[in-house]
Amino acid sequence: MAAPNILNLSSIVGVTTMVNIANAEASNVIISNSSSSNSAYRINSIIASNIDGTNDAWVSVKITNSAAGAGTSFPIADTITVPADSTLVVLGKDAPIYLEEDRSIIAIAQNANDICIVASYEVIS
Mean pLDDT of 47-68: 94
> Cα torsion for 91, 89, 68, 111, to the nearest 10°?
160
With a CB cutoff of 8 Å and minimum separation 6, the contacts of 112 are 21, 22, 23, 24
- Give the Cα separation of 43 and 23 in Å (integer): 23
Residue 2 has pLDDT above 60, yes or no: no
The confidence score (pLDDT) of residue 16 equals 97
CATH class of 12-124: mainly beta
With a CB cutoff of 8 Å and minimum separation 6, the contacts of 118 are 16, 17, 18, 45, 46, 47, 49
How do the domains of the chain map onto residue ranges? Answer: 12-124
The confidence score (pLDDT) of residue 125 equals 87
Higher pLDDT, 66 or 61: 61
- Give the Cα separation of 2 and 9 in Å (integer): 16
- Give the Cα separation of 122 and 124 in Å (integer): 6
The confidence score (pLDDT) of residue 71 equals 81
Mean pLDDT of 89-103: 94
